[in-house]
Structure 1
Amino acid sequence: MIGTLRLVFTTILIVVWILVLIPFHLIGVKIGGRAAGMFTPLWHRLVIRLLGIRVNVVGRPADARPLLLLSNHTSWLDIIVLASVAPVSFIAKKEVASWPVFSWLAKLQRSIFVDRERRQATGESASEVAKRLEAGDIIVLFAEGTSSDGNRVLPFRSALVGAAQQAISTAGTATVQPVALVYTRWQGIPIGRQHRPHIAWYGGADLVPHLNRIMREGAIDVHVIFGPARRLGAGDNRKVITAEAGAWVRRVAAEVNAGRDPADLSVGPVAPDAPAGA
């Protein structure tokens, strides 16, 4: 009974909050620049609070622009977690554009939809990403290409990192920064290897039952850890840079999952001027 009441109450408040902020968001998008992403973090912060998710942040996004964030991907929760921390937009698979309700929310977030199965379409999407990067947007790429069970980080894919190199034509340089998302507690209890898949949404899992469980139960702790930023030059090897970012995220996620305090992993000030491979 309590879970059902929580579900209904949370759903109503989320819908009302969306309706309140939409006019301001649309005005911001019309104005452009920083105003375009000003209100979405406010919406996501309330959703995070309503769902009972506690977000712990180590580090911060680099100040340099263009900025492409490379993150691991465990669940749809990753989107609202990252969007509550910074005014970001996401690169999403094309299927999301056809999902009821979620497609509408993704478009409000100004997501860029990508058909990863068609090489030509990926190239077209890279051009769109480059335009948004040039405009100063912070773009998040879930570089694994899919979500995982939370116990491991899959190899990062480099195809769309080329979009940051395209943005160099205007900005002169671009910045790539890894981000590790690690879910550590549920209902106040440390999440073990066998329980992480309950929070993860991956494979052929149905979205609605997973969403229903999270909204009913909540009380999740997640760590967002920003890694060292790297300058991406026109002549740099995007595969090497992507692999470096993936290796950093993989190491950090493994250490936090093993019980290490994320605060001990702070990278200090971000380094937008550090060359690739530093």
Structure 2
Amino acid sequence: MAPVPGPQRGEPISGLGYCRIAWRLLGLVLALIICVPLHYIWRTVHYGSPIPRLFLWIAARLCGARVRVHGTHLRRDVFFIANHVSWVDILALAGASGTAFVAKAELDRAPVVGWLSRLNRTVFVSREDRMGVADQINRLKEALADNWSITVFPEGTTTDNKSLLPFKTSMLRVLEPPPPGVLVQPVVLDYGPVGEWIGWIGTESGVDNALRVLARKGSFRLNVHFLEPFDPRDHTGRKAIAAEARARILPALESALGHPVRPFAHSVPQVGFSAPKEPETGPATAQEQAAHDRAAG
């Protein structure tokens, strides 16, 4: 992994790092002071407000992301399906397109980020709430109608920007059948050299990850690739829709990385993913076996 000017997972944050955190949080507070009143004033005149999109674009920049958009995103009646690396994904995608989101319930409890997500009508889902799936689907439909677009991260968790997990399809039930006129547009997020460092993975908490990112010196590039949309009516059922989206995202992600994706190294029991075990290695030849036995004896 390329060196980055920021603390690694588990390392203490320097005093200068905490100064960067304070400076960025101050910027977020000032942006909120300006944007929130404007948002509610706008809502007294018009139903849809562009202020959350503007604020989340500002928030992404304050957090260090320099977003470069590739391709053209649909502006309404679209269901974005994207790979997932970081909570910064939400700020960047919303700032670029105005989309609402489906996100895991844990994010709702994250300081600052959870509130920002709610501002943009994020639909929080709990994997444990099996009885509440119908309500989650209804809220998803409402968000699609209100925001004109909504984004799902079907991997169900964040990764290291060098892997692509199997897609879960439960939140694609809103596409069975697809709402009239709605298209699906796959999206690839690529953080370049800092992708592995910035990913919220392993046992790191959301707060610790946020502090690491906010403590980082300078900025980082986030490439957002909007791929060619497709009609979900051409694919029967949510599993076929997910498979088509993944089949488009995978080669585009590998093209952005410049190499094939690799197996994800962290098990995520919440989504039923188990990291592949390292193969047991032993002596390859009879001579090596004999040497190994002599050393062991």
Normalised to the residue count of structure 1, the TM-score between the two structures is 0.79
The answer to which of 95-104 and 9-18 deviates more is: 95-104
C-alpha distance after superposition, 1:153-195 (max 9, x if no partner): 1111222222134562xxx332111100011134xxxxxxxxx
CA distance in 2, matches of 1:100, 1:252: 33
Q: Which residue of 1 aligns with 2:95?
A: 84
Question: For the Cα contact (< 8 Å) 1:150–1:200, is it kept in 2?
Answer: yes
Change (3 A) 1:98 1:241: same
- CA distance in 2 between counterparts of 1:13 and 1:136 reads 26
Separation of aligned partners in 1, 2:171 and 2:45: 28
Tell me the residue number matched to 1:223: 223
2:124 maps to 113
Whether 2:185 is the aligned partner of 1:177: answer: yes
Q: Which residue, out of 46, 53, 58, partners 1:46? A: 58
Structure 1: which 5+ runs fail to align?
Answer: 187-195, 261-278
Shift of 1:135: 3.8
1:141 CA displacement: 0.5
Name the amino acid aligned to 2:114.
S
> C-alpha separation between the residues in 2 aligned to 1:28 and 1:161?
32
TM-score normalised over the length of structure 2: 0.74
Q: Which residue of 1 aligns with 2:245?
A: 245
Contact 2:158–2:200 under 8 Å retained in 1: yes
Residue type matched to 2:133 in 1?
A: T
Which has the higher mean CA deviation after the structures are superposed, 143-152 or 202-211?
A: 202-211
- Secondary structure in 2 matching 1:233: helix
CA distance in 2, matches of 1:71, 1:86: 13
Quick check: 1:180–1:253 contact (8 Å CA) kept in 2?
yes
1:3 pairs with 17, 22, 32, which one?
17
Closer, same or farther: CA 185–99 of 1 in aligned 2, 3 Å: closer
- Rate the CA distance shift 1:165–1:25 in 2: closer, same or farther, 3 A: farther
User: 1:274: which partner in 2?
Assistant: none
* SS of match in other structure, 2:19: helix
- Which residue matches 1:68? 79
Native 8 Å contact 1:71 1:178 kept in 2: yes
**Paired-residue identity, %:** 28
Counterpart residue number, 1:22 = 36
- Take 1:154 and 1:163, find their aligned partners in 2: how far apart are those partners? 21
- Residue identity matched to 1:115: S
Q: 1:123 to 1:18 in 2, by over 3 A?
A: same
Question: Aligned-pair distance for 1:12?
Answer: 0.8
d(CA) in 1 for partners of 2:91 and 2:60?
7
Q: Measure how far apart 1:58 and its partner are.
A: 0.7
Greater displacement, 132-141 / 10-19? 132-141
Structure 2's unaligned 5+ residue stretches are 1-14, 261-297
Specify the structure having the higher radius of gyration (Cα). 2
Whichever residue aligns with residue 55 of structure 2, its letter is: W
Q: Output one character per residue of 1:5-34: Cα deviation in whole Å (capped at 9) or x when no partner.
A: 33222211111111210112234455565x
